[in-house]
Structure 1
């Protein structure tokens, strides 16, 4: 029987004391293990590089898969490549600046690196309003969203001690963040861990619902951990077992312990981020998603600075010959079946099935994440048209993008039989597990651009039933993974067609299929309606 619960360790500020941390972890592993994961909050690096060099060289072994947050101090930025999901060395992975995902185990982890920006600009070790909205907006209006299993932040939330015991230790309330409090309130983590203050503090669990006026929800536990190797012998390592929220019985999940308190975070009645002073900034870090107009009459979202009338920018130019820029002499124009304003569709070279097509920008853009708003909007319009087109044929459709070892955005569009639609997600997950790939499910209403930073490699897929799957590539990745998953017996059942080179047709055959697709698709093509 599959083990449902996971055993996890969490560490406070490591401060570069890797020998002390991993010696303790190894000891706990032998006595109480095996543990599945080590999560580190606060400052992972310190001032001495010698132990880190020993880690990188392998002289000091990392005994467990370890996930760390980003830097909180400028002097620590040198250790990070800037790409989210990067493996810094064997068994140590930098999570990224912020994000939220679901692992193959079902465990949901949200994270936010750095400290809240106190000015109008945001440095490499700080987070701003955009970081807050990227975590909260995708789930705030989702009635099916229950919460996350774990929230990791380095900075403390403002007011966490309300209704609970006073915090024993240095008064660092001035450095605490209202933004973190808002994130914790909206995401409703079962466990919230943080560091930086050097204080061990385990708050009484608190409710995530209002008694009598709302249905019962699970409780949250806030835990701050001390620094590794601190002289006061305060607790810096926390061990616990957790069954992912998605796999728990609802009755068991919402059980309320006897020492539960009210939620310490007050819901904001004013969602506008308005700060007239430094003091207000520390307590009023919220967002306003209402549509307003600027002086020119253009609509915009307050607080974002993004205008729907976005100024047209010249697309970036390829570094060499590009097979997909529509104006390039390398493009095989006989494969093109539809051309829009910013996007075109073409048959895939060596497609899995005859109506396997690609959604491509006319100009040169590397990925969905790096593409401007007008490109993304037209991609969505084409996806909608293609869904209707294939649905009329009794088929579902899988969209996937591999932003790895490519220089031009390509969204693969592959139709699958209607009776396999419900199995698509499971087949992709099983294929990922077989290839030792961590494929995460992200919220259906999430924006990939808010989760993955520009330049970071990733694999992204949208299932016919609406699920969105993401793998953030750190080192190697099987280039044909998307085709391999679709070729499985549970979907297309054509393993011999995984390699596109084995499926290439003659130019005459390609032209004939393209002409037929173009004719059939025309009534669904928004360019003609």
Structure 2
């Protein structure tokens, strides 16, 4: 049976605050245990004014540790009274709190095997190291690699060497990513953990990677967590479910790459041709493809530039064009960002505290949901592998659609809670075309009365008629038929219920990609903001809007 586990990055002496937050989450989630994968205590040079008092309270049991918790050795030396207590009580600091130490392994009461190497790497093989010093040698990691069998969890202070090789995931810290250590890479390759956790100045989650093995291949997810209370509000806590001693999945999850620790004499299998890839990015509120698809009719198709790939797409984190300061929430399969050049502004819905116009974007770089399901399933590979790829792609689509829908529901809850009279509803639209670059939803709050009075549907119908577009499909059967091809989907929600309209976009007419925004601009009296480029903001303004959204959304954000 799966158990819930929670892991944090550096606590840096803010002990009471962090255990208070873990206690609140534990009351709701019922975690089996917790792990602190960074420094529990701050450095002596930057010691918090009250850390000494907090440490004393922690050791005496005055600070409640609500569930079994294991803390690693980070880069800071442990306080002397902490070392004294650990030596006296064989690694137990207080009730429910245990140290993982410089090196070693343990098995939790729930059957999870945890392997850990703590402290900073030392290249000196002569120095004498005490059991709770925050230092380790290559020999420490290598001895664990030789003596340990496969583990569910690996906890290390240092990153493994080459961990970002072949990955699409982008490290988005203000500092350079940590320097990897070869002996940690060898340890990871040896114990093949389900999850490998570390700590750094910013959150980083690598694409999952598989280890060479007979039969189903073990898969590792490397995750490095940011410090608690970091100014960039980068993710510092990670909760997940895991079943101990379970077999590896029979098919590789979408986005899986080969192990970055394999010899580099050849191109790594699946690194360039993996099913999908984790990509976190920020997109523009308008159509980021438009300059490639305006298409001068005098030009031949073959003269046009190829559509942007992930390296150029505004919605992919691997892109050089990424504007990550606009991201408001990161999920496992998708994320939410504020719209560039938003249609609504802070003054449109002042009770929200942010402009309201948002984008929900899947990580996978595909133009439609159907493309996610058919990605990488047509290669001339053996039938069994092709069928496995199809199953993985179908599962990927389901996960993406489910999480994007979950984000919409969470945003609906925000509107219900935050809006005063008149209440707010929302219109979400998605242009699904094979010729597009990156699928996404645009989410826009609107007064609920415009929905309940049928004004939103009427506005789309009138503008479609003015443009000589075909009629919207509205019945379930007509909608299902229209969604099989290129289409515009409009989802109109209020507390009363939701209605869906689908417009077939079959290529028989010229479709204006800004049509949904123009409809909503006219309906809301914001005609002067029809063109997102005319509503451009400074980076400082965009950052402020993103932070305001995070604050408003924090109680509804299921990723927290």
TM-score range, shorter chain: 0.3 to 0.5
Give TM-score scaled by structure 2 length: 0.42
When normalised by structure 1's length, the TM-score is 0.44
Tell me: higher relative CO, structure 1 or 2? Use CA pairs within 8 A at least 6 residues apart. 1
